[in-house]
């Protein structure tokens, strides 16, 4: 079942002349790649295959690399502003891929989605106010609330009989208080891989409008969506939601460009935009860096074919995990509707969270993200990043298979 093995753990996928069907490894050692450099610190051993940080072991699109190389032929790399053509490239991408019509004046630069969340929390709430965070979720959702001296209002996402996570709108309604000012939405969701339906988003958005709660929607994974599912920007559902939502988007996940530190914030309401920009000015986000601008514009303008090949590759890898799990039912896996993250339900193994982590590290030789790091509801789960060459994923599953058999 597994593909032919290839040695080494520090490699990434490179597309060849025939597309992503040609694989070779690139040695990432010496590049300060976070998922490799921090192995000793996090797992207390270098001998783990790192499948945790949500970047890809897949080469950034060739068109982006070439554009950056071309810009480097100019000998001056001083301050530059983000060009209108760069924003227009993203606007065109959003129109084509998500049916979301964005105007240039709604967009501003941010170094990252997490930085935008922190800025929005400070702009639209006061210390002691409550911010709704849905458990489990990407860990910085929790830390940005707490680090800015706001109160977490935790809403647990629950699985239905089919293993699908859902909002519990009626329960959430009872949790809201007069101090509840913001809701952090992860859409599509990291780590559970949900693409929220139109009805789910409308119900959530309507509840926020009824209670005067502003929506901060992290949509950084919105381009990694598998058919027949389709991402719907919550701001696109009505004029009221358009004016009540901050939408956070960027090329980092789509094109494996997190190292360029560039994203955008979409705010329609002029008053909200003014408050946000005042806060961004206080922390001096600036306007980004010259090479980031080039990479950003090129990815959105020229990366469409690469993106489609990426989705095909990720579908193959998700199918490989699904086939493997069918043979080892002690670990459950529901193929994600979006993202390149596998949310592995390991509760049937009967291990505590610390024991589970030790099992993956020391028995299987795998460095995954422990589910508990995503919140209380993540207990008993592990998150695996499958945006790797299929051979690397096959090796990981063989390691896990051996550990389970032992």
Mean per-residue pLDDT for 345-362? 97
Give φ, ψ of 182 to 5 degrees: -140, 155
pLDDT at residue 224 in the model: 98
One domain, residues 250 and 284: yes
Q: What is the pLDDT of residues 304-320, one digit of tens each?
A: 999 999 999 999 999 99
One domain, residues 171 and 208: yes
Task: Say which CATH number the domain at 108 has.
Answer: 3.40.640.10
**Residue 81 covered by a domain:** yes
pLDDT at residue 6 in the model: 34
| 124-150 burial code (b ≥16 CB/10 A, e <16) | bbeeebbbbbbbbbbbbbbebbeebeb
**Residue 10 covered by a domain:** no
Give φ, ψ of 222 to 5 degrees: -70, -15
| Of 396, 280, 268, 294, residue with least CA distance to 342 | 396
Q: Beta-carbon neighbour count of residue 67 at 10 Å?
A: 20
Judge whether 187 and 82 are in contact, CB under 8 Å. Answer: no
One domain, residues 164 and 183: yes
**Residue 108 covered by a domain:** yes
Residue where a domain stops, chosen among 302, 328, 358: 302
Mean per-residue pLDDT for 275-286? 95
Q: Mean pLDDT of all residues in the chain?
A: 93
Is residue 14 over pLDDT 60? Answer: no
Q: With bands split at pLDDT 50, 70 and 90, how would you rate the model's confidence at 29? A: confident
Mean per-residue pLDDT for 78-91? 97
One domain, residues 279 and 378: no
Task: Say which CATH number the domain at 374 has.
Answer: 3.90.1150.10
Domain of residue 273 covers 69-302
- Round to whole Å and give the CA distance between 34 and 38: 6
One domain, residues 109 and 241: yes
Q: Beta-carbon neighbour count of residue 71 at 10 Å?
A: 16
Mean per-residue pLDDT for 289-307? 97
Mean per-residue pLDDT for 151-178? 96
One domain, residues 205 and 98: yes
Q: Which residue has the tokens 């170094």?
A: 111
One domain, residues 130 and 237: yes
Cα dihedral 127, 132, 135, 140 sign: negative
First-last CA distance in the chain: 20
Under DSSP, the state recorded for 62 is H
Residue where a domain stops, chosen among 262, 286, 302: 302
| Of 108, 101, 115, 87, residue with least CA distance to 266 | 108
pLDDT at residue 100 in the model: 97
Q: Beta-carbon neighbour count of residue 168 at 10 Å?
A: 14
Residue where a domain stops, chosen among 302, 326, 344: 302
One domain, residues 337 and 239: no
H or E stretch at 397: helix 390-405
**Residue 338 covered by a domain:** yes
pLDDT at residue 17 in the model: 43
Q: With bands split at pLDDT 50, 70 and 90, how would you rate the model's confidence at 186? A: very high
One domain, residues 233 and 176: yes
Q: Which residue(s) pair with 151 in the sheet? A: 130
Q: With bands split at pLDDT 50, 70 and 90, how would you rate the model's confidence at 3? A: very low
pLDDT at residue 24 in the model: 57
3-state secondary structure of 229: coil
One domain, residues 48 and 92: no
**Residue 29 covered by a domain:** no
pLDDT at residue 11 in the model: 47
- Round to whole Å and give the CA distance between 103 and 267: 10
pLDDT at residue 2 in the model: 43
pLDDT at residue 28 in the model: 81
- Round to whole Å and give the CA distance between 48 and 370: 14
pLDDT at residue 35 in the model: 93
**Residue 100 covered by a domain:** yes
Is residue 9 over pLDDT 60? Answer: no
Q: Which two tokens stand for residue 234?
A: 């919550």
Q: What is the pLDDT of residues 203-233, one digit of tens each?
A: 999 999 999 999 999 999 999 999 999 999 9
Under DSSP, the state recorded for 61 is P
One domain, residues 226 and 256: yes
**Residue 19 covered by a domain:** no
Is residue 74 over pLDDT 60? Answer: yes
Sheet containing strand 180-186, strands side by side: 107-110, 263-267, 245-249, 214-218, 180-186, 130-135, 151-156
Q: What is the pLDDT of residues 380-402, one digit of tens each?
A: 999 999 999 999 999 999 999 99
- Round to whole Å and give the CA distance between 227 and 325: 21
Of the ranges 15-19, 46-50, 168-172, 340-344, which one carries the lowest mean pLDDT score? Answer: 15-19
| Of 268, 266, 188, residue with least CA distance to 220 | 188
Q: Which residue(s) pair with 330 in the sheet? A: none
| 248-271 burial code (b ≥16 CB/10 A, e <16) | bbbbbbbbbbbebebbbbbbbbee
pLDDT at residue 263 in the model: 98
Question: From the CA atom positions of the chain, what is the Rg in Å?
Answer: 21
Give φ, ψ of 189 to 5 degrees: -95, 130
**Residue 288 covered by a domain:** yes
One domain, residues 148 and 286: yes
Please count the structural domains in the chain: 2
């Amino acid at each position: 079942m597994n593909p032919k093995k290839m040695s080494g753990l520090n490699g990434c996928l490179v597309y060849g002349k025939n597309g992503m069907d040609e694989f070779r490894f690139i040695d990432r050692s010496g590049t300060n790649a976070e998922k490799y450099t921090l192995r000793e610190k996090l797992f207390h051993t270098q001998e783990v295959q790192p499948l945790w940080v949500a970047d890809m072991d897949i080469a950034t699109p060739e068109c982006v690399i070439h554009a950056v190389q071309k810009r480097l032929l100019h000998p001056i790399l001083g301050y530059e502003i983000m060009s209108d053509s760069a924003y227009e490239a993203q606007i065109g991408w959003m129109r084509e891929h998500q049916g979301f019509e964005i105007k240039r004046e709604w967009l501003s630069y941010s170094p990252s989605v997490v930085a935008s969340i922190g800025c929005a929390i400070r702009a639209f709430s006061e210390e002691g106010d409550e911010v709704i965070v849905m458990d489990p979720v990407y860990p910085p959702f929790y830390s940005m609330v707490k680090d800015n001296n706001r109160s977490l209002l935790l809403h647990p996402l629950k699985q239905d009989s089919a293993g699908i996570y859902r909002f519990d709108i009626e329960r959430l309604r009872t949790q809201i208080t007069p101090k509840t000012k913001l809701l952090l939405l992860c859409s599509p969701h990291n780590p559970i891989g949900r693409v929220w339906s139109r009805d789910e988003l409308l119900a959530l958005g309507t509840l926020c409008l009824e209670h005067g709660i502003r929506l901060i929607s992290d949509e950084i994974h919105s381009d990694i969506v598998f058919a027949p599912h389709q991402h719907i920007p919550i701001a696109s559902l009505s004029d009221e939601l358009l004016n009540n939502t901050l939408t956070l988007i960027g090329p980092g996940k789509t094109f494996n460009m997190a190292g360029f530190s560039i994203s955008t914030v979409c705010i329609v309401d002029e008053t909200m935009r003014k408050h946000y920009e005042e806060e961004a000015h206080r922390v001096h986000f600036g306007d980004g860096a010259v090479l980031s601008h080039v990479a950003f514009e090129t990815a959105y303008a020229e990366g469409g074919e690469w993106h489609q090949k990426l989705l095909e590759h990720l579908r193959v890898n998700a199918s490989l995990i699904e086939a493997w799990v069918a043979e080892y039912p002690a670990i459950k896996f529901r193929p994600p509707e979006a993202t390149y993250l596998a949310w592995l339900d390991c509760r049937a193994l009967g291990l505590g969270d610390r024991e589970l982590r030790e099992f993956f590290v020391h028995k299987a030789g795998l460095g995954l993200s422990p589910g508990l790091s995503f919140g209380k509801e993540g207990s008993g789960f592990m998150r695996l990043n499958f945006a790797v060459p299929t051979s690397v994923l096959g090796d990981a599953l063989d390691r896990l298979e051996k550990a389970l058999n032992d």
